[in-house]
Structure 1
């Protein structure tokens, strides 16, 4: 199952060109939504030799239109291609960065390898790999995709300083939360209602492997 909130269900946004932050190509900015859909579909064919799924195209369009976007789709749908497609809409001179929060370090390692094979620069930040040198490299724009855990995102003072720096904010194109349903689940776990959660709402196998820090996002 794959679901995304239809455009008719949310207010129509106004595309805004940022004076300091990340923008898509001007020629794309001026296209109609229908022409943008065609361009996104063609981009997927050109780079991956595969036809785009409708919800992949709609998700990218929603991001271009400035909407916060939630996509519910199963394994193998191609969710990870959506940030890559969106990144293709941004001039390389921007040195834009996509920040991806994931619940498992191993998932980040796999995604870094996948991004590198697709021609992107990427890094997975862990307690072992995130240090002052790495922080400086990220601030300088050496990595296009940065993967990290909720703990680093929420509790690491060095990352906090990096994240709120004007240099980083001006290049931040997108924040992605992988396995975003865990935000809701761990929120229940930390609340008083957790005692009343039934198996219909919470799977034990989920609780053991995903980080409780997700509930704080």
Structure 2
């Protein structure tokens, strides 16, 4: 049973300090946690810097019973379980990579009906398996199923950019356990995706029980800029290295340099992330940066586990030679590093939501950070062709396709369309563009934190100079099909 509010008010601050080593909540976290402890269904939409995981982890520590956390990302689950266990919280994960002895222990623990595990992270695919469902029925019968949490909840919706079919089957939880509270969290959902999430999880059937917390997508401490370039790798490389070495020079000339060095901070320690679309480019770009005496390391799925763990740990600890991670898109989810000073997109991402999530990994400490995206129409065409290939594959397999595939494809097209529009826009604030994309009516005030507000005329000149130098060969080759595909809703 959830705690009474008076008990909750007393316990959450103590638990925050003791278990999570934090002295205060971020805005709205306390209200979300209290709503969860009061037994409400909860929907949370907040930026990547918000600290959404604490909103279900802290109630799980306080509440009686087990909290089931459903996540689509194995790396995210493992990172969070490791951090919780370091904080002496009994957390485990059950997925395709879980060793057999650990898997057996978890199933035996669930079979008791009174599990010792407080948070169990699982994949949506596992939630469809009869063995797992049977164990949860035993736990529920003993009134020990405290809460079900759906992380990255936008994956539920076929109108979302990361639709996963097994997320649709999570309707089973509300149908089987109508008395168990459900919490869902996402950083990227427009009005249509939000409605789809609530409907699929059955949260709209009990509106009096539901509490929605929808925070602004605005990150005022991030400076947003699009840098127009050709498809030549050297153009981007020279521009980036010149920018970074300029940062080093300014830090070296800073009046506070002795103070910084006395505190153990290196002048060339500017933690950052560069996102690329391929593993080969991760490797080659990181190697090139190291040749220029810039501490960069690659991070992608094909690296050995030991290498990834060492790279991540040394980057988080700001060790020499590990200042910059050059990574593919999955990197950074759930990683608790708040001093990332820049995020660079080396290539155009595949979706607007992906761009927003990745850029949002900068400046989680609230201090000024820099986010820029290199944009060339060749990149645009390349990503468009990826989506077109997906469309062709979907059409070829139409007889086997299930409902939702076509809708998801259209959602991906629209998302990519808006990202191109964002890149080529020269008539408004980039922060305002992001907020409008996610359905916010009030446009935020930008304190010169984007390239348009900084110098709108220079932005127009840069775009015209950068894009005018490119050939529209691919557009002509497609005989206008590209424009119809891209700029129509």
Q: TM-score range by the shorter chain?
A: 0.5 to 0.7
> Are the aligned partners of 2:11 and 2:62 in contact in 1 as well (CA < 8 Å)?
no
Equivalences for residues 129-140 of structure 1 within 5 A: 129=98, 131-140=103-112
- Report what 2:126 is aligned to: 152
How far apart, CA to CA, are the structure 2 residues paired with 1:146 and 1:50?
Answer: 26
Q: Note the C-alpha offset of 1:49.
A: 3.2
How far 1:85 moved relative to its partner?
A: 1.9
Aligned position for 2:146: 173
Structure 1: how far apart are the matches of 2:411 and 2:147?
A: 33
Residue 208 of structure 1 is matched in structure 2 by none
Residues 1:127 and 2:100 are matched in the alignment: no
Query: Per the alignment, do residues 139 and 115 of structure 1 end up closer, same or farther by CA in structure 2, a change over 3 Å counting?
Result: farther
Aligned mates of 2:88, 2:23 — CA distance in 1 = 17
For normalisation by structure 2, the TM-score amounts to: 0.31
Distance 2:48 2:40 in 1: 24
Please say if 1:23 is aligned against 2:21.
no
- Alpha-carbon distance in structure 1 between the residues aligned to 2:126 and 2:67: 16
Tell me if structure 2 keeps the 8 A contact 1:101–1:177.
yes
Name the counterpart of 1:72: 45
1:127 and 1:168 mapped to 2: Cα distance?
Answer: 27
Contact 2:71 2:77 survives alignment (8 Å)? yes
Point out the structure with max Rg over C-alpha: 2
Greater Cα offset, 99-108 or 132-141:
132-141
Larger RCO (alpha carbons 8 Å, 6+ apart): 1
Alpha-carbon deviations, 1:85-120, whole Å to 9, x = none?
Answer: 213433xxx4x1110001021211111101101111
Structure 1 position 117 matched with structure 2 position 83: no
Is residue 71 of structure 2 the alignment partner of residue 99 of structure 1? Answer: no
Q: Residues 97, 199 of structure 1: CA spacing in aligned structure 2 closer, same or farther, 3 A cutoff? A: same
Secondary structure of the residue aligned to 1:62 is helix
Q: Is 1:44 aligned to 2:13, yes or no?
A: no
Identify which of 89, 95, 104 aligns with 2:62. 89
Given that 1:124 and 1:146 are in contact with CA atoms closer than 8 Å, whether structure 2 keeps it comes out as: yes
Whether contact under 8 Å (2:71, 2:124) holds in the other structure is yes
Q: 1:196 and 2:410 equivalent? A: yes
8 Å CA contact 2:16, 2:22 repeated in 1: yes
Tell me how far apart the structure 2 counterparts of residues 148 and 52 of structure 1 sit (CA, whole Å). Answer: 27
Q: Distance in 2 between matches of 1:73 and 1:38?
A: 26
- 8 Å CA contact 2:5–2:38 kept in 1: the answer is no
Whole-angstrom CA distance in 1 between matches of 2:152 and 2:40: 19
Residue pair 1:122, 1:143 contacting (<8 A) in 2 also: yes
With 193-202 and 114-123 compared, the bigger mean Cα shift is at: 193-202
Unaligned stretches of 5+ in structure 1? 1-21, 204-217
Q: CA deviation at 1:43?
A: 3.9
Structure 2 match to 1:12: none
TM-score w.r.t. length of structure 1: 0.66
| CA 1:165–1:75: 2 relative to 1, 3 Å | same
**Which sits farther off after the overlay, 63-72 or 132-141?**
132-141
Cα displacement (A) at 1:68: 1.1
Change (3 A) 1:168 1:123: farther
